[in-house]
Amino acid sequence: MSFLICYVLATSHFVIATNLLPPSRLTDSRVEKSFSQGRILGGNRVDIGKVRIGVSWRFIEAPRSIEGKSESDAIVFNEANHEVFTDQEGRFSLSNQYITQGDTLFAVDSSQRFGCVLNFDESHQIEGTLQELLPLAINVDTSNLVSGGHRGSGVTVRVSVKIKDKFLPLGYFVFVPQHPKLDPKISRKILLPPGEYKISVGARSGLRESRFAQLGTDKDTIKQLEFVMKPIKVVVGQNSPKLVYSACLGCDTDDFVDGELRGKWTVLEFWGYWCGPCVSRSIPDLISFQRKNKNHGDKFRIVSIHVAKDVQTVGEYRKHLSELPDLEWNPVELPFPVIIDKESNISTEWEIREFPTAILVDPEGKIQFIGTSLGAITKLHNAIGCEG
């Protein structure tokens, strides 16, 4: 039995409707595929044929002309993963083999004037309203990166859209300044339908920052977001920040005098119970290394720093780690301390951008390595000649 659902977010002449038939299933030797059937409905102002639908869009800077006015600084939808196109009647078929729950689908017409976000969930319902795309101005000041000698190859802007109280990734684009030293400020307009967005701007040599924007239906007012890029300070060869904490499992009060990491080599491991690679690889690797080299305690130390919004005390740490299935190591009897990073203050100070991250600090307090725990162990092994 089939039925038709049309989900209207705002008044519009153009509606994307999905015919929620029981998914057709095709068997190709060993792989079973399911499909969702959809259709775009429209009026005279839009061509419903060859409307593009996909996930993980890559935007591109391209001029477009709207009602005789040229927009040379517009950022438009370029290509996406697993794209499909509507036929001349606006119908399309979407394979669920490549689109999973939580993916953000987006549809855009051939003129780059109309588009909408489609929420794809496990019930295979695709629903939304095609609306006119509105400009969101993004202004990025990279002068701090240039003047400090930290200029990278470009600035990456990632766009997330709010769907059912969560921000889900929509796409990204990259700014590449033509003359960064002469003109470090970049201004572009990205074209998006009405909605709530999270815009994150980052660079290889700059800290990531995020701003939020609400786009309404007023196309005469351009929403502006301002970003000032800050250079990364925690880099190899520089003095390490201080390590200041208030909650720790297994810490000795004499471990760090005034937060200074001096006197011996120090491996700092930033991790969290929610991070699969952390609990399955990096922490076990460090446990093994510590136990093999316990007789070299006068030369090095390992300190793990646990980062999670819902872990602010040692008790909460014990609770969450005890609930992890098939854990092959005892989280409350580690051979090295576990510092609880309250409110992510430590990871912010140390400019941690991904997990897990290991940082190796030499006895003089200078950073010698930033990367994986295995990389830190290898560098430490070469420095002090301990067992790998």
**Tokens 């502006």 sit at which residue?**
224
| Fold exhibited by the domain 248-384 | Glutaredoxin (3.40.30)
pLDDT in tens, 41-81: 766 677 778 889 888 888 887 654 444 444 555 677 777 87
Average pLDDT, the chain: 79
Give the whole-angstrom CA distance, residue 381 versus residue 290: 12
The CA-to-CA distance between both ends of the chain, in Å, stands at 64
Give the model's confidence band at 356: pLDDT under 50 very low, under 70 low, under 90 confident, else very high.
very high
150: left (phi over 0), alpha (psi -120 to 50) or beta: alpha
The Cα–Cα gap between 288 and 381 comes to: 13
Q: Which fold has domain 135-228?
A: Immunoglobulin-like (2.60.40)
Please check whether residue 328 is in contact with residue 316, taking contact to mean a CB–CB distance below 8 angstroms: no
Q: Which residues contact 11 (CB under 8 A, 6 or more apart)?
A: none
Pairing of strands 185-192, 223-228: unpaired
What residues pair up with 33 in beta bridges, in sequence order?
A: 26
Q: Which of 214-223, 228-237, 345-354 has the highest mean pLDDT?
A: 345-354
The two three-digit tokens of residue 73, written as one number? 């600084």
* Residue 294 per-residue DSSP state: G
Per cent of the chain over pLDDT 90 is 33
Amino acid sitting at position 67: E
Q: Could you write out the DSSP letters of every residue in 196-235?
A: EEEEEEEETTEEEEEEEEEE-S-TTS-EEEEEE--B----
Query: Residue ranges of the domains in the chain?
Result: 4-131, 135-228, 248-384
Q: For residue 39, what are the β-bridge partners? A: 17, 91
CB 355 within 8 A of CB 307: yes
332: tokens are 């409350």
Q: Which residue has the higher pLDDT, 42 or 371?
A: 371
Of 262, 259, 203, 245, nearest to 342 by C-alpha is: 245
Q: CA angle at residue 362 from 360 to 364, to 5 degrees? A: 145
Rg (CA), the chain: 26
Residue 94: pLDDT band (50, 70, 90) is: confident
Is the predicted pLDDT of residue 4 greater than 70, yes or no?
no
Confidence of residue 5 (pLDDT cuts 50, 70, 90): very low
Q: What are residue 384's phi and psi, to 5 degrees?
A: -120, -5
Crossing angle of helices 373-384/283-292, nearest 10°?
A: 20
pLDDT, one tens digit per residue, over 104-160 is 888 898 888 898 887 665 555 576 678 888 889 999 988 887 544 344 457 889 999
Report d(CA 171, CA 192) in Å as an integer.
Answer: 11
Alpha helices for 41-183 (secondary structure H): 143-147
Please name the amino acid found at residue 246: S
CA distance 275 to 282: 10
What's the whole-number mean pLDDT along residues 315-325?
Answer: 92
CB 199 within 8 A of CB 158: yes
Instruction: Give the Cβ contact number of residue 111 at 10 Å.
Output: 14
